């Protein structure tokens, strides 16, 4: 069950007490200090962000609704199998701007060649990943054809030929695409916010990660079982650095760094 407003406030209070402040003071790992001060924190404006946010604005104003399929643990339980406006999807299902900008900066920093996204929806996060990144191969999986169709149209319109969309449930599409890849460099998990599913996707990905792989998990505090699943995957011996940004988490597999966990403040949450 999704954590309610009071639970989220309490979570945020606890996070605030335990997290490192803006500026990077107190981060003793040089790797994480550099990542935080050079990539996570500097929220610079890029030209391409306007293009993506213009699309979000169009969706908000178009007056169209879709019947959403009932798959996975939806972002908002009211959306399962119901008619939902694109306004609502663009406003509260798609990632917020500050998380999109973070994805963009992480991609620009790590320059991953092979990227997998779980949960395309209308394609807003995919666009933050794909723009200015034409050399990467991006595979994005979505089980709801209605929203995927909308995303595909926009990818075509924006000339994003580096994106391959996979229609179907993660349980089937993820093993299928992984079987065709030697290695995966960057993963964004943003669908089926259920702890058991998250652990399952993480375990499927593990054999294909390399030392430069970065995995971003959204909504790590969506529910108690997502919190537990996040803690569980952070404890995996292959994860060298885990970073809790409150809303989402970053997993790094770099070798030769002492295993450490960080809670760092970023964005308006
Ligand atoms: C939170 S939305 C993704 C938002 C998107 N990343 C963005 O920021 O624009 C999650 C999406 O994952 C899809 N989804 C959830 N569980 C799934 C599953 N098991 N298989 C395939 N798609 C799933 C839902 O249909 C939904 O569109």
Which residue, by CA, sits nearest to atom 7 of ligand 1?
94
The CATH number for 186's domain is: 3.40.50.150
- Which of 66, 93, 100, 119, when mutated, tests ligand 1's pocket best, judged by the most ligand atoms within 8 Å of its CB? 119
Answer yes or no: is 60 within a domain: no
- Whether this model's pTM surpasses 0.75: yes
Assess whether the C-beta atom of 169 lies below 6 angstroms from ligand 1: yes
Let me know if residue 73 belongs to a domain. no
Q: In terms of DSSP H, where are the helices of 158-208?
A: 170-180, 195-205
Residue 234 in contact with ligand 1 by CB distance below 6 A: no
Instruction: Confirm or reject: Cβ of 170 under 6 Å from ligand 1.
Output: yes
CA of residue 41 relative to chain centroid, distance: 17
Confidence label for 113 from pLDDT (cuts 50, 70 and 90): very high
pLDDT of residue 62: 96
Identify the pLDDT of residue 77. Answer: 45
Q: Which domain does 15 fall in, by range? A: 5-45+95-263
Helices (H), 158-262: 170-180, 195-205, 224-234
202 occurs within a structural domain: yes
Task: Tell me if 78 is assigned to some domain.
Answer: no
Give domain status of residue 269, yes or no. no
Mean pLDDT of 94-119: 97
- Ligand 1 pocket check for 146: Cβ under 6 Å: no
Please state the domain count of the chain.
1
218 lines ligand 1 (CB under 6 A): no
Tokens of 137: 């191969």
Q: At 51, list the tokens.
A: 């293009």
Beta bridge partners of 263: 244
User: What one-character-per-residue DSSP string does 61-119 give?
Assistant: HS--EEE----SS-SSGGGTTSEEEHHHIIIIISPPHHHHHHHHHHHHHH--SEEEEE-
């Amino acid at each position: 069950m999704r954590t309610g407003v009071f639970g989220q406030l309490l979570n945020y209070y606890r996070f605030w007490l335990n997290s490192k402040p803006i500026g990077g003071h107190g981060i003793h790992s040089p790797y994480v200090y550099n990542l935080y001060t050079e990539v996570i924190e500097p929220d610079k404006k890029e030209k391409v962000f306007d293009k993506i946010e213009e699309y979000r604005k169009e969706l908000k104003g178009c007056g169209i609704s879709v019947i959403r399929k009932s798959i996975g643990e939806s972002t908002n339980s009211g959306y399962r199998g119901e008619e939902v406006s694109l306004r609502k999807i663009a406003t509260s299902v798609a990632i917020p701007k500050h998380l999109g900008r973070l994805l963009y900066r992480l991609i620009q920093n790590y320059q991953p060649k092979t990227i997998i996204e779980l949960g395309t929806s209308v394609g807003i996060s995919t666009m933050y990943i794909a723009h200015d990144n034409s050399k990467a191969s991006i595979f994005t999986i979505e089980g709801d054809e209605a929203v995927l169709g909308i995303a595909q149209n926009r990818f075509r319109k924006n000339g994003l030929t580096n994106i391959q969309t996979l229609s179907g449930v993660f349980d089937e599409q993820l093993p299928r695409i992984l079987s065709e890849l030697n290695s995966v460099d960057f993963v964004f998990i943003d669908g089926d916010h259920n702890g058991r599913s998250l652990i399952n996707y993480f375990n499927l990905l593990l054999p294909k990660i390399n030392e430069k792989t970065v995995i971003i998990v959204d909504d790590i505090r969506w529910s108690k079982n997502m919190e537990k699943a996040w803690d569980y995957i952070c404890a995996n011996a292959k994860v060298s650095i885990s970073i809790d940004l409150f809303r989402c988490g970053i997993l790094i597999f770099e070798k030769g760094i002492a295993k450490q966990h960080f809670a760092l403040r970023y964005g308006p949450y």
